[in-house]
Amino acid sequence: MKRSTLTTVVSLALLLSGAALADDQALREKAMRAGLAPLPETVPNPAGNPVTPEKVQLGKKLFFDPRLSASGLISCNTCHNLGMGGDDNLPTSVGHGWQKGPRNAPTVYNAVFNRAQFWDGRAADLKEQAKGPIQAGVEMANRPDQVVATLKSLPEYVAWFSEVFPGEDDPVNFENVVKAIEAFEVKLVTPGAPFDRFMQGADTAMSAEQKDGLALFVDRGCTACHNGVNVGGQNYFPFGLIKRPGADILPPEDKGRFEVTHSASDEYVFRAAPLRNVALTAPYFHSGQVWDLKQAVSVMGTAQLGTELSDEEAGKIVAFLQSLTGVAPQILYPALPIETAATPRPQL
């Protein structure tokens, strides 16, 4: 190859490279203006609940212990399985006595970044959220006094609570149970997603298709609801803002946030789903009736944006959503204390 030709090829390659860098930076800035951001490197302590390594370890044991349920069969991990994306991969969870819950179980991963917990936002934080399933008749069907009696019957738990909550006359209490679970769940974050690395400056972390999907996600208006570090989970919106889905996807008997506020304007209003790790958490929506992520994207286009996304557009948005899959922490199943003669018996 002649020197002049080689020089031309090199110059063209540098020019194209420079253009690609500029395009990537422009896309980052567009995403940031739309309210998207990478996961933070550190997670702040929850209000009124300083997190310590010992409290996290206690919360981990409680998260996996099925004896927090009346039957002795259902733990927090049953519906928020840390090996399966932090949910249970069921349309709606199966609880006490094989009862089916009314809504799809959200993932527990990155839940600390949500503005509120549950589809209707009825719990302000993870501590308050943890109280609900333990006591719900359709879920774990237990009572706080029964939970405390169970834990006090196990000497190891008594010692752990005394260590984690020093100076308290009676540290084994229901409030401390949920504080410990909250401390563990605060640590369930999934950094290192391709999207995060791209937003932090790694141009090659996302594929060209994923970048196209990110641009479409912003340009089509998806970020109006799905924004923040959790790409959702920040506010409440009517499901069917433009066109209400069919009763199979939007059951008419579930009026969403209305059950919390009793305001007519909140009928069929739900918290925008956080989209981190969404590729791992099928089925979708509060009803859990859509198993295919591309179909879910298409439904949202019609229902929320009033637009028919082409198959190619939906595919690119799905590619972007796949770039939100982060690295889950390695969690070893804990060894739990063995029952004693004083431990309450399971109530099936």
Residues labelled catalytic: 139
The one-character DSSP state at 297 is H
AA letter at 68: L
Please name which of 131, 135, 129, 103 lies closest in space to residue 116, comparing C-alpha atoms: 129
Instruction: List, in order, residues 6 or more apart from 160 with CB less than 8 Å away.
Output: 54, 57, 58, 61
Q: Cα separation of 129 and 37, whole Å?
A: 25
Instruction: List, in order, residues 6 or more apart from 245 with CB less than 8 Å away.
Output: 239, 299, 302, 303
Q: Tell me the torsion sign for CA atoms 176, 329, 233, 100.
A: negative
Please name which of 142, 145, 124, 122 lies closest in space to residue 134, comparing C-alpha atoms: 142
Alpha helices by DSSP H, listed for 165-233, are: 174-186, 194-199, 208-219
Q: Cα separation of 56 and 179, whole Å?
A: 9
> Measuring CA to CA, how many Å separate 156 from each of 6, 135, 152, 169, 205?
74, 24, 9, 17, 46
